[in-house]
Amino acid sequence: MLTVIFQTRCRQKNVKVQVVAHKVKSGQAFRLATLILLAHRVIINTMMNRIVQATLLRRWLESCRVYADRRVLAILFLGFSSGLPLALTFGTLSLWLAEVGISKTTIGLFALMGVPYTFKFVWAPLVDRMPVPYLTRRLGRRRGWAIVTQLALMATIAGLGATNPLARPWLTAVFALMVAFWSASQDIVVDAYRVEILEERQYGAGAAMIVLGYRIGMLVSGAGALYLATYVGWLATYGLMALLMTVGVATILLNPEPKVQKSRESVDQENRIAAYLETNPHLQGKKARALAWIYGAVISPFAEFMRRRGWLVILLFILLYKFGDALAGVMSNPFYIEIGFTKIQIANISKAFGLAATIIGGVVGGVIVNRLGILKSLFVCGILQMFSNLMFAVLAMAGNDLRILSLTIAVENLSGGMGTAAFVAYLSSLCNIAYTATQYALLTSFMAFGRTMLSSSGGWMADHMSWINFFIATTVAALPGLLLLVWITKRLPGFSPMRTQDSGSVQQASRQR
């Protein structure tokens, strides 16, 4: 006969539990003891799991709090200011031209108004280094240029609305080109301001906010402008759009100028050109100042980037990271039409699910970057992007099914938004703080050019294989970028330049040299 007493003490509540078994044989007691010990272990594990889950939840909630930061919220409104002019020179303008009877050939030529967005890196060094009289002294380098571009956009958008495209299409084209130029210039300033005003841990949230604001701005100047034009006409519509640019002006005036910082690399570059000028006495006065400015503003941003180990691999990764996504995207609308969906169905589902999913994806991507870091987030979002292409293959097998179409667009836009947030954060981290505007404009232009050129082969591929095989091929096309990312994570984890040095510490370091 055996009396068995099991005692379990709960550490948090200090509660003592007794289980008493009388007149139990030894084997039965052992089995009972084993069961109770197992129950004890399950209870403890459950409690620990709940503690861990609560801790993880608390950490994720803390990661979400990054969106409450005033600087991150400011990026939302600047994103709106950046996205607003885009549709006014593309979709909205094209509809206006078609409405008044402009030929399709002429409307097609108006697409050339987008050239400034592709080549904005050409004048980015001027925005990066050239001061604006009075405004730079009063507001600072970034805010001064931002006010100039925004005021210029207000004037040119209003001027575009005042033109008569039927009577003088050339004048409409001139104003549209000016709007695009100042819009691209504003993008240069806003991107540099975002990179410099935020801490590196906030880059993901900043990327999500700029995408969210940009999408809202495009929606207002797209669908919103069309509604307005129906009731008040094009002149008043473009005038109201010009007034909405005051959102960006107010945001710039209510927020501080980023601190002027120099990196060790930029100081080394400046010391190098100064030493060269000293050894060449014939280069004095205005010539010396002009050469020093050109070297510091134009040559140094490129030279500094190319001096980093593995820079060619980084550029190749920038080309390939969204290759599979772009390849599928360029043929998505022809695919929808071919399997029997109407334009109205595609538009309605794209607006309802696509826009919402992109916005949610961007916000989630920002949280993931803040929680996991940039490189891990790139990998996670890249995997999701890659497998989202398989949804198109599923749709190809299902055929004309609105439910599958909705799910495909939702998944593709959700993962695409997450990938964009992580990718923009990564591009931001690559910029040297001394050359932010020039390097970021160069990287984004390079990314856009590469994505356009590489994805142009999508039509040929779709002509020579079934839709199912095509979308499986686009999934495989995402692998090279992910493999490069794995290599970069292992071999080049510290590729990004140091970003936390202020100008005083750098000047002291340069004097010590």
∠ at Cα 190 (482, 142), nearest 5°? Answer: 130
Q: For residue 12, is it within any domain? A: yes
The verdict on 29 and 74 lying in the same domain is no
Q: Please give the mean pLDDT across all residues of the chain.
A: 80
The percent of the chain in helix, strand and coil, each rounded to the nearest 5, is 80, 5, 15
Please write the tens of the pLDDT for every residue from 412-449: 888 888 898 899 889 988 888 878 888 888 888 878 77
What is the average per-residue pLDDT within 403-416?
Answer: 88
Domain of 470 in residue numbering reads as 309-496
The verdict on 333 and 469 lying in the same domain is yes
The verdict on 89 and 167 lying in the same domain is yes
Q: Would you give the DSSP letter of residue 295?
A: I
Which among 228, 201, 170, 243 is positioned nearest to 71, based on CA atoms? Answer: 201
pLDDT of amino acid 511: 36
How far apart are the C-alpha atoms of 500 and 12, rounded to whole Å? 44
The verdict on 14 and 104 lying in the same domain is no
The verdict on 240 and 354 lying in the same domain is no
pLDDT of amino acid 8: 44
Please write the tens of the pLDDT for every residue from 449-500: 766 677 777 888 888 899 999 999 999 999 999 999 999 988 876 666 544 4
| Sign of CA pseudo-dihedral 28, 31, 33, 39 | negative
The two three-digit tokens of residue 497, written as one number: 């330049």
CB 180 within 8 A of CB 114: yes
pLDDT band for 5, please (50, 70, 90 cuts): very low
Half-sphere exposure (Cβ direction) of 87: Cα atoms closer than 13 Å: 24
Higher pLDDT, 148 or 268: 148
Q: For residue 290, is it within any domain? A: no
What is the average per-residue pLDDT within 329-351?
Answer: 80
The verdict on 92 and 181 lying in the same domain is yes
Q: What is the distance of C-alpha 104 from the center of its chain?
A: 33
How far apart are the C-alpha atoms of 243 and 166, rounded to whole Å? 25
Instruction: Write the DSSP string, 24-69.
Output: --HHHHHHHHHHHHHHHHHHHHHHHHHHHHHHHHHHHHHHHGGGGS
Q: For residue 29, is it within any domain? A: yes
Total domain count, the chain = 3
CATH number at residue 384: 1.20.1250.20
Q: For residue 304, is it within any domain? A: no
The verdict on 391 and 465 lying in the same domain is yes
How far apart are the C-alpha atoms of 246 and 157, rounded to whole Å? 13
Question: Angle, nearest 10°, between helix axes 390-398 and 402-430?
Answer: 170
The two three-digit tokens of residue 215, written as one number: 């999408």
Please write the tens of the pLDDT for every residue from 341-369: 887 787 777 766 777 888 888 888 888 88
The verdict on 211 and 75 lying in the same domain is yes
Domain stops at, among 258, 289, 319: 258
Q: What H or E segment, with its residue span, contains residue 396?
A: helix 390-398
Q: For residue 296, is it within any domain? A: no
What is the radius of gyration, based on Cα positions, of the chain?
29
Q: For residue 279, is it within any domain? A: no
How far apart are the C-alpha atoms of 410 and 358, rounded to whole Å? 8
Domain stops at, among 28, 48, 63: 63
Q: Could you give the C-alpha distances from 326 to 87, 369, 423, 447, 458, in angstroms and in order?
A: 21, 22, 14, 11, 9
CB 252 within 8 A of CB 143: yes
The verdict on 178 and 95 lying in the same domain is yes
Q: For residue 361, is it within any domain? A: yes
∠ at Cα 395 (391, 397), nearest 5°? Answer: 115
How far apart are the C-alpha atoms of 438 and 297, rounded to whole Å? 8
pLDDT of amino acid 29: 56
Q: Would you give the DSSP letter of residue 119?
A: S
* CB neighbour list of residue 304: distance below 8 Å, 6 or more residues apart: 265, 266, 269, 432, 434, 435, 497
Q: Which residue has the tokens 């995207």?
A: 329
Q: What H or E segment, with its residue span, contains residue 18?
A: strand 15-21
Q: For residue 278, is it within any domain? A: no
pLDDT of amino acid 7: 45
The verdict on 78 and 42 lying in the same domain is no
What pTM, to 2 d.p., does this model score? 0.71
The verdict on 87 and 121 lying in the same domain is yes
The verdict on 320 and 434 lying in the same domain is yes
Residue 144 has pLDDT above 70, yes or no: yes
∠ at Cα 228 (224, 232), nearest 5°? Answer: 170
How far apart are the C-alpha atoms of 307 and 293, rounded to whole Å? 20
User: 3-state DSSP call for residue 477?
Assistant: helix
How far apart are the C-alpha atoms of 127 and 121, rounded to whole Å? 10
CB 179 within 8 A of CB 150: no
Residue 513 has pLDDT above 50, yes or no: no
User: 3-state DSSP call for residue 1?
Assistant: coil
Which among 364, 350, 462 is positioned nearest to 406, based on CA atoms? Answer: 350
How far apart are the C-alpha atoms of 44 and 329, rounded to whole Å? 50
Domain stops at, among 63, 83, 104: 63
Percent of the chain with pLDDT over 70: 76
The two three-digit tokens of residue 374, written as one number: 């940039």
* 204-208, 259-263, 367-371, 375-379: least confident range: 259-263
Percent of the chain with pLDDT over 90: 29
Please write the tens of the pLDDT for every residue from 263-317: 566 566 666 666 656 666 656 666 666 666 677 777 788 888 888 888 899 999 9
How far apart are the C-alpha atoms of 17 and 5, rounded to whole Å? 10
Q: Count each helix (H run) and each strand (E run) in the chain, helices first.
A: 28, 2
